[in-house]
Structure 1
Amino acid sequence: MQISLKNKIALVTSATAGIGFAIARGLAQSGANVVITGRHQDKINQAVNQIKADIADAQITGLALNAATAEGCQKIIQSLPQVDILINNLGIYGTCEFAEITDEQWFEFFETNIMSGVRLSRHYMKGMKSQGWGRIQFISSESAFNIPADMVHYGMTKSAMQGVSRGLAKALAGTGVTVNTVLPGPTRTEGAVIMIENIAKQQGITSVEAEKYFIEKHRNSSIIRRFTEPREIANMVVYIASEQASATTGAALRVEGGIIDSIH
């Protein structure tokens, strides 16, 4: 299968590192004209330059702003009025006992993880609908199904994301615009590497052993028994963004290594 996204404009939020960076790289490698967002110009420049160095003729630029705010989303829309592919990757997470989660934290998680995607989708769906083609994706998490006891506010937003995505897919029925969520599991991002190294130091074990320890203790239903790589998430995203995935919409697509113990 040869995936070509040539002449397609793709927007990826929060894409200076981790999964977002891998997605941006994958889309650029498939020929898309990619725009990434991030809060810091130096990190934007670093990500853009890295992808250009890795991929000959990569078409990629960046916008330094905070997409978690209404103002930041409006600035994106003003700079980029129309896109063909929208990847809502922006999200925050953090552990906290339920009794200690403040109202401010609940609203912060909802504003960042849900409303950023709602605001951008609400605008870009119109152009996609009028041209009869478009791809909207939300990067969710296996935590949407397996709500973590120490991250209820995070899991809640990922579950809500599933509802937004499914409802939007139905609202765009028959238009040629598809809407899906992609559900990663534990992924070897920069933050995850630091976490594993800390576990290794605390336990007096190697990083390989620490990763195995984490999976057995916290994700023991994993079938692949390892962290996924960011590029493995990106592979799914690129496919779903392609013409070949035209009949896949309203779906929750798992790239979580079989952690969710269900055949549905």
Structure 2
Amino acid sequence: QTLTPGTEEWNYSLGLVDSVIRWLPSCKGIPIKDFLLAHAASKERHRHIRRAALISYLRIADAQETRDVLLHFLAGERCGVDPLSVYSHAAATYDQTPPEDEAKRRAIIAALMVAAAREDGKIGFVEVDRILSMRSDTYRRSGERLALLEHHSLEPPTRNLYTDADLKAALAESRRYWKHTSVNTNAALLQAHDFSGEHTPANAEKWGGALVTPSPEVIFAPRGVPAPKPALYRRSIRHWLLGIAGLGGLVAAFALWRNLRRKRGSA
């Protein structure tokens, strides 16, 4: 029986197919990755089916597969998929991936950094920038991010409620950093990188540095103001301030000691 799009029967059947596709990753031992990837990339499939297939694929993909599919939809053919939805699915997959699977989490961040550099629209860039800034302080403080913020700040204002305010706040924050990090935004370098290998601290910085999972308070913080700093950033600032305070104490103690010696010598 052929169903007419938009009818109650059509919507009911579409919901069933959507649910089945989302359930497929629970089927252990069944090769479904090719099936899901084909449906996600097919322009003939309904957008809900494609979205469900992409979400399910990202759930079961390893680090290299995750990198490849995100590059395909964000830096390659895109296949008619809205990048904003891919950003959202990638962020959700990252947050649901356990920290022990650092390779997959790093592959997601690395792919989104490449996507941010290729994003030609202000709205899309601000959305992926917010996702990255909440999860990678190294990206947040990078010179590459500052350059992208400067570039998009020159574009005409948008009609989006938060985009321009978010961009202005992010740019002001990025300009205040004394020292900027450096991350990779080159798709070719990302494609050649093996995330299953060991990462030294210096090498890890290129792919996002120390990664964190944002709290709900960070994710749902008010828009149009600088996003809350990741916990890792706050700890580093606290340690820096404590170090400065400790150094000041040592300098004061040394000055007092020299003053006492001078007084004794003149006595």
Structure with the larger RCO, 1 or 2 (CA within 8 Å, 6+ apart): 1
The TM-score normalised by the length of structure 2 is 0.32
Who wins on radius of gyration, i.e. which is larger?
A: 2
User: Could you say which structure has the higher strand fraction?
Assistant: 1
The TM-score normalised by the length of structure 1 is 0.32
User: Could you say which structure has the higher helix fraction?
Assistant: 2
